[in-house]
Amino acid sequence: MTDFFVFEGPDTAFNLFTEEHGIYEGFKKFPLKELAKNIDKVALDTILVTIKEQNEDDNIVLVAKTEDFFSFRDHFIDNLPYLIYSWIQQGYIAYAVIQNPPKNFIKGLESLECSEQGVEVMKCGYVRKSLTKSDLRKVALTFNEEILGQDNILKQIIASLYPLINNRSNKPIVLMFYGPPGVGKTESAKIINECISTAPLFRQQLSMFKANEFYNYLFGGEMGGKTLTKDLIRNESNVILLDEFSQCPSDFYSAFFQIFDEGIYEDNNYKLDLTNTIIICTSNFDSVKEIHGTVGSALYSRFTHFIKFNHLDTASKIRLVSKYYEEIIKDFNEEDIEYLLKKDLKSLLIENVDRFTNARNIKNSVKISISKELTEKFLEEIFSSTIDQDY
């Protein structure tokens, strides 16, 4: 009989795993986090005896989910596999179901497996779906419709992803999207994710961290702290977006060597398998020469492709003004839309299109211009009505 069921992967896949194998059928679940509430007050065996007495007619399964480990100290996690196995032998629990155990738990469990005690362990992990030609077709069609002014980019993106259709090595594809801000780098990553995955995009903005926070986030500090491995461990998507990658201090670039090379990310607490993923880094670098000079040869050589996004030309800016204008006015009523048509606001925006620098700037300017026109109309109606009443 299996003593430990170990699953590495996000919650949805973990729940599916337990259902498919009927792991909880005929058993009562007892969460490991309940032990954390009382661990400093009562001896563990006393807690388990009480649980067994309260559920004497039920067979109990110990369930340890990802976040349950965050409350424990390292030395307790070191000994936890041995404790759990002793509880199984004493009849307190039937077996244990473990999701995303830390490295030191796995080490203890492997030691038990190699012992002569006959410990049975079933291990399973989350498998990300493979890329198909149909996925790439969606990427091409959606990109062509949504991203304007970057006509040379689509071929480069498809060319970089195409090997994944027949890729047998499972090495990740690592892309650097670089160029001026607001021209579609992050949006392109979102499009890729939406077309090849049903899961939300994993996005981490590296500019959000202070310099002194980077070490613990990338290399792992205490179990209860925020880390990249904890964020990635819940990720179901094939796409990992490291936004504003240039904001990462150069001292910490080594954290990405193994993940870029092999799709394995390891810190002090966890070791994650991220094979068959697409890792996209964005930056505002101007050239590959600048990238190489900043990140150094060791990291530079680990990128699969460098894809440059360009400044928008006038024709692209005009198309973006029209696109955003039509999208935004859909949210207004017919009266407001007719007023905007009468004012010919879109033509006015197009006449001044060279003032705009990027897609984000254009979208915000169109929004503000529409709101300004309608606000002036609204206030004019209020005050003209007040004047009429005074007379």
In the chain, domain spans = 4-125, 133-308, 314-390
Question: In CATH terms, are 4-125 and 133-308 the same topology?
Answer: yes
SS3 188: helix
- Is the separation of the CB atoms in 286 and 309 below 8 Å? no
Higher pLDDT, 164 or 224: 164
pLDDT of residue 304: 94
Residue 93 has phi, psi (to 5 degrees) of -135, 155
Tokens of 182: 């607001």
Percent of the chain with pLDDT over 70: 91
Residue type, 166: N
Strand partners, 305: 175
Question: Could you tell me the end-to-end alpha-carbon distance of the chain, in angstroms, rounded to an integer?
Answer: 93
pLDDT of residue 38: 59
Residue type, 205: Q
The whole-number average pLDDT for the span 303-331 is 91
pLDDT of residue 182: 87
- Of 3.50.50.60, 3.40.50.300, 3.40.50.2300, 3.30.1490.190, the CATH number of 133-308 is 3.40.50.300
- Is the separation of the CB atoms in 283 and 241 below 8 Å? no
pLDDT of residue 46: 65
The whole-number average pLDDT for the span 149-172 is 85
Helix, strand, coil shares, percent, the chain, to 5: 55, 15, 30
pLDDT of residue 391: 43
**Residue 224 clears pLDDT 80, i.e. is over it:** no
The Cα–Cα gap between 149 and 144 comes to 10
| Residue listed under structure tokens 């002036």 | 376
pLDDT of residue 71: 82
Burial class (CB in 10 A: 0-12, 13-18, 19+), 170: middle
- Is the separation of the CB atoms in 174 and 303 below 8 Å? yes
pLDDT of residue 243: 93
Task: State how far the alpha carbon of 387 is from the alpha carbons of 357, 373, 375, 376, 390, in Å.
Answer: 42, 21, 18, 16, 5
Residue 91 has phi, psi (to 5 degrees) of 85, 10
pLDDT of residue 17: 94
Chain segment 323-370, per-residue pLDDT in tens:
999 999 998 898 888 888 888 888 989 988 888 888 888 999 999 999
Chain segment 23-69, per-residue pLDDT in tens:
998 888 888 887 766 555 445 666 666 666 666 656 889 999 999 99
The Cα–Cα gap between 324 and 322 comes to 6
Q: Give the chain's mean pLDDT.
A: 87
**What is the second-level CATH architecture of the domain 4-125?**
3-Layer(aba) Sandwich (3.40)
Residue type, 351: E
Q: How many CB atoms lie within 10 A of CB 358?
A: 19
How many H helices and E strands in the chain?
Answer: 16, 12
Chain segment 251-287, per-residue pLDDT in tens:
888 889 999 999 999 999 999 998 889 999 999 999 9
C-alpha triplet 265, 270, 273: angle, nearest 5°? 40
The whole-number average pLDDT for the span 94-103 is 94
pLDDT of residue 312: 86
Residue type, 323: K
* Distance of alpha carbon 278 from the chain centroid: 11
Which secondary-structure segment (H or E) carries 135? helix 133-146
Chain segment 99-111, per-residue pLDDT in tens:
999 999 999 999 9
